[in-house]
Amino acid sequence: MAYTGVASPGGPADVRELDALTIRKASVGPMDNNAYLLTCRRTGAQLLVDAAADADRLLELIREGSPQARLDAVVTTHRHRDHIGALTSILAVTGARALAGADDAQAIGEAADVHVEGRVHHGATVPLGDLALEVIALRGHTPGSIALAYREPRDARAPEAVPGRTHLFTGDSLFPGGPGRTSGGDDFDSLMDDLQRRVFDTLPDDTWVYPGHGRDTTLGAERPHLEEWRARRW
């Protein structure tokens, strides 16, 4: 079935098969958090974006990608508690590494009582088997909020100048309809500036956005509203 980006708590994962990567989107917990399992199709390496809640459901999701429940890493997009509710259990069961934005890592480690081994900065790469994800810092929702970008390899049948599509996992920094919540003031300006420079000025309209809650979107759908967001301040 075609990927729709729609998932609901207790329901099945929505699955997107790319040439080199499989993306599984599931919704968990009372806050309807999205968790994304990324699987390198050649090596079987797996990475979970946000062990948000419902460890049993997330373990099922991991086994959907690997019957042996292989999990190499959990990347937490930011420090808020609704994104780390199952982190302790998932790390204990799978032995995966914990990674997070450098400025949120200590708070995540203390809240979940785990060791955040990988403290990543803007521009770093996170390996996933043969593949790599780029870290994009989006400061404002929290000081260490990050997004992860996966760029598909260029289609050999396409003109050389045409890159593969980008898939962007934004946590709570970008949703359909606007940026994530901030305390206003400097935090809002910081988030909007990072979104403008590091996302909208850099990535094309067909970039697919996978947010921390709710349905997906594309940069092309959101780009016309940037000035509206700045004017309304949310």
Mean of pLDDT over the chain? 96
Q: Which residues of 88-113 are buried (b: 16+ CB within 10 A; e: fewer)?
A: bbbbeebebbbbbbbbbbebbbebbe
For 197, phi then psi, to 5°, come to: -75, -40
End-to-end CA distance of the chain: 36
pLDDT tens for residues 23-32? 999 999 999 9
Q: Which two tokens stand for residue 30?
A: 């009372």
Query: pLDDT of 106-154, one tens digit each?
Result: 999 999 999 999 999 999 999 999 999 999 999 999 999 999 999 999 7
Alpha helices, H only, the chain: 55-65, 87-94, 102-112, 185-194, 219-222, 226-232
- For residue 78, what pLDDT is reported? 98
User: Which class is domain 14-227?
Assistant: alpha beta
R_g of the chain computed on alpha carbons: 17
Instruction: Give CA angle at 34 (31, 37), nearest 5°.
Output: 145
Q: Rounded to a whole number, what is the largest CA-CA distance in the chain?
A: 50
* Percent of the chain with pLDDT strictly greater than 70: 97
Q: Which residue has the tokens 């590494």?
A: 97
Q: What is the pLDDT of residue 10?
A: 86
Q: What are phi and psi of 26, to 5 degrees?
A: -130, 150
Model confidence at 155: pLDDT above 90: no
Task: Render pLDDT for 164-185 as a digit per residue (tens, 0 to 9).
Answer: 899 999 999 999 999 999 998 9
Model confidence, pTM: 0.96
